[in-house]
């Protein structure tokens, strides 16, 4: 499925018939940030606490869990496949080494009518980055659109700056161009989509 064909990222007026594969989040959905967010028909994103909640996981018919942490052990429920991405949430960590492997795993699970849940500790940086990479590779979304979609599904997502650089490089590798770039701000280099919110910020070191 290509999200573009279902009108998820239309910049103009939305279609009269809403997409039926994934419903847009309601106010109630957005308020339950400790829950599990549906990114696509076969992909979910959440925190480590939610991933350890057996009722939540089984209610989504999850068949594969990708654990993008060094802090949390796998639950190892017998009827779920596990894949570990043992990386800390640090800007210098090469998470991009796992972009293709994780995206392929999500795609193959979906082809078998399975569902994948990706989590880290908070469901904010590592797991969100992997979901964005998957959308770029298999749904051919630009980085800008992939981030917009994931953030709409789970508003707390915010990859660290190092992961943003890796996503930008990955987009260039996939499509030969970029829709997001790093720009200088008062607090350092950030993705240009964050530029507006940083204009009024003053770095702490300026008060020394």
Which residues are tagged catalytic? 120
Nearest alpha-carbon partner for 59 in 74, 46, 73, 72: 46
Q: Residue 160's closest CA among 134, 186, 132, 137?
A: 132
Cα separations (Å) of 118 from 180, 182, 204, 205? Answer: 24, 26, 34, 37
Assess contact for 159 and 132: CB atoms under 8 A.
yes
Distance between CA atoms of 109 and 19, rounded to whole angstroms? 22
Beta bridge partners of 190: 183
Maximum Cα interatomic distance, the chain, rounded to a whole number of Å: 58
Which ranges constitute the DSSP H helices of 19-125? Answer: 27-31, 48-51, 54-59, 99-111
Structure tokens at 66: 């990708």
């Amino acid at each position: 499925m290509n999200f573009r064909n279902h009108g998820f990222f239309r910049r103009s007026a939305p279609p009269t018939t809403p997409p039926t594969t994934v419903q847009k989040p309601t106010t109630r959905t957005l308020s339950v940030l400790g829950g599990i967010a549906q990114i696509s028909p076969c992909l979910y994103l959440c925190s480590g606490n939610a991933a350890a909640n057996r009722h939540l996981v089984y209610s989504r018919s999850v068949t594969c869990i990708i654990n993008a942490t060094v802090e949390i052990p796998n639950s190892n429920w017998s009827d779920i496949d596990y894949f570990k991405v043992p990386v800390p949430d640090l800007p210098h960590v090469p998470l991009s080494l796992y972009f293709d492997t994780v995206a392929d795993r999500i795609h193959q699970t979906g082809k078998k009518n399975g569902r994948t849940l990706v989590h880290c500790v908070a469901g904010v940086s590592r797991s969100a980055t992997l979901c964005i990479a998957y959308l770029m590779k298999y749904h051919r979304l630009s980085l800008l659109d992939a981030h917009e979609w994931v953030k709409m599904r789970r508003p707390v997502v915010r990859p660290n700056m190092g992961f943003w650089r890796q996503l930008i490089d990955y987009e260039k590798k996939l499509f030969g161009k970029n829709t997001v770039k790093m720009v200088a701000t008062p607090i350092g280099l950030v993705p240009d989509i964050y530029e507006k919110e940083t204009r009024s910020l003053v770095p702490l070191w300026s008060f020394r």
